[in-house]
Structure 1
């Protein structure tokens, strides 16, 4: 799967959760989704809690996934291939992708949405 195709798959995955998510930014440089309700994020009130973004880079596609940062215990069981893509606490770097990774990502995003709904963030 080429980088552009990975980027498209990630966009479609996130778009499949609209609503309760909404698109905050959509350009060639970034695709970002957030919640739909005004909430506190840190010390400031925001119009939608940050959820995830897709950022294409020359050598990979970056997937920033905030629920893994806010609820790390809920995402401790990642497959070995997914763990290899995780750089830092919440950023995945994808150079290759297969159906197993897409399915795992879909389950992760669904869990993230569920957790954020439960916490009244989205």
Structure 2
């Protein structure tokens, strides 16, 4: 079993999201995360040596947007992320673009996903 510090997982997810937004030719992005340590590292408020290279890469990616913001929101306000985790537990790891499917929706099964 491989064990990774939560801050590494969170900031890698942020980096992946930024890379995806760039690949989709988005020019403005607002990133909201309920993981304060990752947000603070990207915003140069704090520093964790284990993710120095990843948060620097995130800042590099953020510079590619006309407008970008990375902000902390409390876990109770991050319902979309928690709903997404629930869906991933059912359908597995997938990528989709557009509206977030719901577990109660047939769209979860019929929506074309790409791995």
Using the size of structure 2 for normalisation, the TM-score is 0.29
The structure with more helix, counted as a fraction of residues: 2
